[in-house]
Amino acid sequence: MHPILATVLQRLGLGLLTLFLVSIIIFSAIEFLPGDFTEAVLGQSATEETVAAFRRELGLDQPAYVRYIDWIGSVAQGDLGQSFSGRASSGIDRSRSVAELIAPRLSNTLFLAGMTAIVAVPLALILGVTAALWRGGIYDRVVNAVTLSTISMPEFLVAYLLILFLATLNPIFPSLADVTSATPFWERVTKCALPCLTLTLVIVAHMMRMTRAAIINLLASPYIEMARLKGLKPSTVILRHALPNAWAPIANVVAFNLAYLVVGVVVVEVVFVYPGVGQLMVDAVTSRDIPVVQACALIFAGTYILLNLTADIVSIATNPRLLHPR
Mean pLDDT for the stretch of residues 76-85: 84
| Residue 60 pLDDT > 90 | no
**Looking at residue 183, what is its pLDDT?**
87
- Per-residue pLDDT band for 323 (boundaries 50, 70, 90) equals low
Same-domain check for residues 135 and 186: yes
- Share the mean pLDDT of the chain: 83
Least confident window among 127-141, 233-247, 273-287: 233-247
Same-domain check for residues 138 and 273: yes
Same-domain check for residues 298 and 263: no
**Looking at residue 80, what is its pLDDT?**
87
| Residue 219 pLDDT > 70 | yes
Rounded CA gap, 88 and 21, in Å? 33
At 274, which CATH number? 1.10.3720.10
Same-domain check for residues 210 and 316: no
**Looking at residue 217, what is its pLDDT?**
82
**Looking at residue 303, what is its pLDDT?**
87
Same-domain check for residues 279 and 206: yes
Q: Give the structural domain span for 79.
A: 1-96+288-326
Least confident window among 32-36, 144-148, 232-236, 307-311: 32-36
Residue from 90, 109, 205 nearest 148 by CA: 205
Rounded CA gap, 44 and 24, in Å? 30
State CA 132 to chain mean position distance: 28
Same-domain check for residues 15 and 67: yes
Task: Please tell me which residue, 60 or 279, carries the higher pLDDT value.
Answer: 279
One-letter amino acid of 119:
V
- Per-residue pLDDT band for 182 (boundaries 50, 70, 90) equals confident
Task: Please tell me which residue, 288 or 103, carries the higher pLDDT value.
Answer: 103
Same-domain check for residues 175 and 260: yes
**Looking at residue 189, what is its pLDDT?**
93
Q: Which residues, in sequence order, are CB contacts of 64 under 8 Å at separation 6+?
A: 27, 31
Mean pLDDT for the stretch of residues 33-40: 69
- Per-residue pLDDT band for 285 (boundaries 50, 70, 90) equals confident
| Residue 39 pLDDT > 90 | no
Same-domain check for residues 56 and 81: yes
Mean pLDDT for the stretch of residues 238-259: 77
Task: Please tell me which residue, 312 or 301, carries the higher pLDDT value.
Answer: 301
Task: Please tell me which residue, 79 or 234, carries the higher pLDDT value.
Answer: 79
Same-domain check for residues 186 and 273: yes
Mean pLDDT for the stretch of residues 205-233: 82
Task: Please answer whether residues 31 and 64 qualify as being in contact, where contact means their C-beta atoms are separated by less than 8 angstroms.
Answer: yes
Same-domain check for residues 178 and 296: no
**Looking at residue 324, what is its pLDDT?**
58
Same-domain check for residues 90 and 205: no
Task: Please answer whether residues 302 and 17 qualify as being in contact, where contact means their C-beta atoms are separated by less than 8 angstroms.
Answer: no
Same-domain check for residues 1 and 43: yes
Rounded CA gap, 68 and 219, in Å? 52
**Looking at residue 1, what is its pLDDT?**
66
User: How many other C-beta atoms lie within 10 A of the C-beta of residue 57?
Assistant: 15
| Residue 92 pLDDT > 60 | no
In the chain, the number of structural domains is 2
One-letter amino acid of 6:
A
